[in-house]
């Protein structure tokens, strides 16, 4: 049975080929760049959706206002048939 070295475990990079760590770092940097790009695109989509929701809320509030005005007007009108009857 082998005994553990006094210095502890050797780092994994020292047991790999010399260019492997640099290659792995490059791969990770590429992944980070793609993730940053994806996050930026998602942020832009979120901003557009928030603007659309705000616009829809304003439109809904306007329609509620029109409906209230129309229903108030209708309640004040007499219950007479329209002139074309």
Domain boundaries, the chain: 19-75
Phi, psi (degrees; rounded to nearest 5) at 32:
-65, -40
pTM: 0.54
| 31 pLDDT above the threshold of 80 | yes
**Residue position matching structure tokens 């994994």:** 12
Residue 31 has, within 13 A of its CA and on its CB side, a CA count of 6
Q: What mean pLDDT comes out for the span 44-50?
A: 98
**Confidence check: pLDDT of 1 > 50:** no
């Amino acid at each position: 049975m082998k005994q553990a070295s006094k210095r502890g475990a050797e780092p994994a990079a020292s047991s790999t080929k010399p260019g492997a760590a640099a290659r792995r770092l490059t791969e990770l940097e590429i992944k980070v760049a793609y993730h940053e790009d994806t996050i930026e695109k998602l942020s832009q989509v979120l901003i557009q959706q928030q603007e659309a929701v705000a616009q829809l809320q304003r439109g809904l509030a306007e329609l509620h206002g029109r409906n209230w005005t129309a229903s108030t007007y209708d309640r004040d009108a007499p219950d007479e048939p329209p002139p074309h009857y």
